[in-house]
Amino acid sequence: MDLFSKKMIVSESEHGKLRRCLSSFDLILFGIGAIIGAGIFVLTGIAAATHAGPAVVLSYVLAGIACSFAALSYAELASSIGGSGSAYNYAYASFGELIAWIIGWDLILEYAAGACTVAIGWSGYMNNALSVLGLHIPDAFQKGPLEGGILNVSAMSIVALLTLILILGVKQSARFNAVIVSIKLAVIVIFIAVAATEVNFKYWHPFMPFGWSGVVSGAALVFFAYIGFDAVSTAAEEAKDPQRGLSIGIIGSLFVCTLIYIVVSGLLTAIADYSTLNVKSPVAQTLLNLGHTFSGGLVSFGAIAGLTSVILLFIYGLSRVFFAMSRDGLLFEFFSEINPITQTPVRILVFGGSIIALAAGLTPIGLMAEMVNIGTLSAFIIVCAGVIVLRKTHPELIRPFKIPFSPYIPFFGILSCGYLMISLPLATWLRFIVWMTIGLVIYFSYGYYHSKLRGAGLTKR
């Protein structure tokens, strides 16, 4: 039996007994929960003020197009290959174990650094809200040692709390996520309704103050706002109807969020001068500056809710990819046990949650944020390439969702994600290479010898 067939069997087996209880609607809410967060509530302002000007709306269109190519590719592979390992699994089936390891390691970086970045952003919003209520957390406990403090206690607490919810069960997590997503969507509707009454198109002149290159570098930045739809695919072994549900969840959530981003970023730059938007909470702040105190306060609250679900879903995604890799023997098998009562990978959640909490407590936000985009873009490229390769090598594979115009769409996905990737700073590339080198050392000293799929003389490479 070749490695591809072996992988498909392992993906389909009931190895770990994760609980199949998520509906297609839960999966769309998972996607929206993971997507809308710091990107729209924070980065839009920075991207408008320092990169694209009012043309930040075009940056959102550009990044949205790159993501939709990748999302379609994810939908095809999630519905035909599946598995909680997401892109790790697809890469295994398309390119073999080494590339699968690289992409799995890369996804761990994306989700861990993403959860950590958003937890630090969350703590900034929360500490402000608490001080407005008269509860001041001492400065030393608002930031880590690299920024002159001791520990970022709020960031650590939110990671611990959300990890606990994830341990309790996936259905409980889905219910919690549904509440949070409703709050953030309600707040966005409030912003749109209020901002629509303040529009003044004089703010759109000049529309592209930094030229086309500003629009593109803005797109590389706001790409962050779209990350998260891929986390839906890690729910493959917990979805009631994975073959339909995953493609609906991935494409549906991305579609809803793209529309929201275009409307919100277009309105934001039409109610304030773009140069004033380089602040910590541009969406709320702009409403406050225009005298809408109550709705400005609500938007801040919605931002806290928005960031909460992103952290939840990123820790969830991390745990499922880690689970798939340890089940295959590439990471310590100790972690692949599913708790029989909660039907969740408790050991991984405790381990992963502790590492993320520690990193969020000790490191500054910038260091983490930069790593998320590069990790995600490289996973997207591999997934798009996987579609092209599998159509050639395994045309017989049953594909409940099939991308139209293949190989063009996945090919454009590779080109557009590659283009965004080379627009990232050199320092980010260097850190990425260091992370990948560490990953390869672990693979060749552990994973290679413990792999269950290559084991038993299956495919010796």
Residue in 176, 111, 129, 124 with CA at minimum distance from that of residue 153: 124
Distance CA 68, CA 232 (A): 14
Closest separation in Å from C-beta 243 to ligand ALA: 26
User: Interface with ligand ALA includes 224 (CB under 6 A)?
Assistant: yes
Residue least distant from ligand ALA (Cβ): 37
Closest separation in Å from C-beta 39 to ligand ALA: 3
User: Interface with ligand ALA includes 35 (CB under 6 A)?
Assistant: yes
Inter-residue contact 47 to 216 (CB < 8 Å): no
Q: Which amino acid is at 184?
A: K
Instruction: For ligand ALA, give the closer residue by CB, 227 or 324.
Output: 227
**In 10 A of CB 430, how many CB atoms?**
10
User: Interface with ligand ALA includes 310 (CB under 6 A)?
Assistant: yes
User: Interface with ligand ALA includes 220 (CB under 6 A)?
Assistant: no
| Tokens 């095809």 -> residue | 76
User: Interface with ligand ALA includes 66 (CB under 6 A)?
Assistant: no
User: Interface with ligand ALA includes 313 (CB under 6 A)?
Assistant: no
Instruction: For ligand ALA, give the closer residue by CB, 331 or 420.
Output: 420
Count helices and strands (H / E) in the chain.
18, 0
Give the Å distances, CA to CA, from 317 to 101, 359, 394.
16, 18, 27
DSSP designation for 227: T
Closest separation in Å from C-beta 118 to ligand ALA: 5
Residue in 272, 117, 259 with CA at minimum distance from that of residue 188: 259
User: Interface with ligand ALA includes 225 (CB under 6 A)?
Assistant: yes
Candidates 37-45, 202-210, 326-334, 428-436: pick the segment binding ligand ALA (CB under 6 A): 37-45
| 455-457-461 Cα angle (round to 5) | 85
Closest separation in Å from C-beta 416 to ligand ALA: 17
* Number of amino acids touching ligand ALA (CB under 6 A): 11
Residue in 25, 54, 32 with CA at minimum distance from that of residue 277: 54
Instruction: For ligand ALA, give the closer residue by CB, 40 or 330.
Output: 40
User: Interface with ligand ALA includes 218 (CB under 6 A)?
Assistant: no
User: Interface with ligand ALA includes 228 (CB under 6 A)?
Assistant: yes
| 320-113-415 Cα angle (round to 5) | 85
User: Interface with ligand ALA includes 227 (CB under 6 A)?
Assistant: yes
**Contacting positions for ligand ALA (CB under 6 A):** 35, 37-39, 114, 118, 224-225, 227-228, 310
